[in-house]
């Protein structure tokens, strides 16, 4: 997240891993800027045995992630200060 400073770690425990193993899943985010969180979650889910079949967001920030594989409702314009 661009709003959080420092190192971030995504964790999926064994109980939740068993729930998604072999399942088709969709990753949903509120705002996508660089796509870093999407890529990290997709990698984690695939390592856990899930099949990521779609990625979706409410808003896609302009000028960041290319969005070609993302379903989103609207582009979010970014204005320089």
24-73: pLDDT as tens digits? 999 999 999 999 989 999 999 999 999 999 999 999 999 888 878 999 99
Q: Where are the domains of the chain?
A: 24-76
Bridge partner residues of 75 (DSSP):
60
> What is the chain's Cα-based Rg?
14
* pTM for this model (two decimals): 0.82
What is the spatial distance between Cα 49 and Cα 59, in angstroms, rounded to a whole number?
Answer: 28
Whether the Cβ atoms of residue 17 and residue 48 lie closer than 8 Å to each other:
yes
Using DSSP, state whether 25 is helix, strand or coil. strand
Number of H helices, E strands in the chain: 2, 3
In the prediction, which pLDDT does 9 show? 85
């Amino acid at each position: 997240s661009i709003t959080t400073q420092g190192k971030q770690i995504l964790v999926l425990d064994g109980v939740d891993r068993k729930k998604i193993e072999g399942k088709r899943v969709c990753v949903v985010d509120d705002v996508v800027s660089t796509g870093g969180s999407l890529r990290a979650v997709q990698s984690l889910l695939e390592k856990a045995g899930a099949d990521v079949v779609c990625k979706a967001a409410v808003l896609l920030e302009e000028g960041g992630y290319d969005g070609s594989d993302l379903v989103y409702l609207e582009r979010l314009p970014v204005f320089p200060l």
